Amino acid sequence: MFLTKLQPEEKEAFLELAYLMATIDGKFSVFENPIIVKYQKEMDLEDYTIKGLAIDDILKVFKDEHSKHIALIEILRLVYSDGIVHENEQKSITLIKEYFGFDANKYATFKDWIVGIKEFANYPKHE
């Protein structure tokens, strides 16, 4: 949704983070894979090769608040895509939240918004 607003180095870092989060529970789910592909297209990084960077190296690329907000929102979108937040995903989200300096209220607002969007997208369509 917002990834085009990131700087080029942030886009690559975000893709690294998204891949890390998608595989942190030991599997690359059928829900997460299409989102990663959408991220690559949105950022014009279809040919990018994942380097497998450490999370600390990834997170330090995001320097301003706007970029940090985008990264967290999009990662929450990925994590909640399959409806299950695994323990390792939750630990990583907590690490990201703390590294970026987000308080519990800001995080809860982002999470609630993402969950609400997912629920809205699943509403039956009326004709």
Indicate the DSSP class of residue 93: H
Q: Would the pTM of this model clear 0.95, i.e. be above it?
A: no
Mean pLDDT within 49-72:
94
pLDDT in tens, 2-45: 899 999 999 999 999 999 999 887 777 777 888 899 999 999 99
Residues 67-113 have pLDDT tens digits of 999 999 899 888 887 777 888 888 999 999 999 998 877 767 777 77
Fold of 3-121: TerB-like (1.10.3680)
Structure tokens at 55: 């999370």
CB neighbour list of residue 113: distance below 8 Å, 6 or more residues apart = 73
Model confidence at 127: pLDDT above 90: no
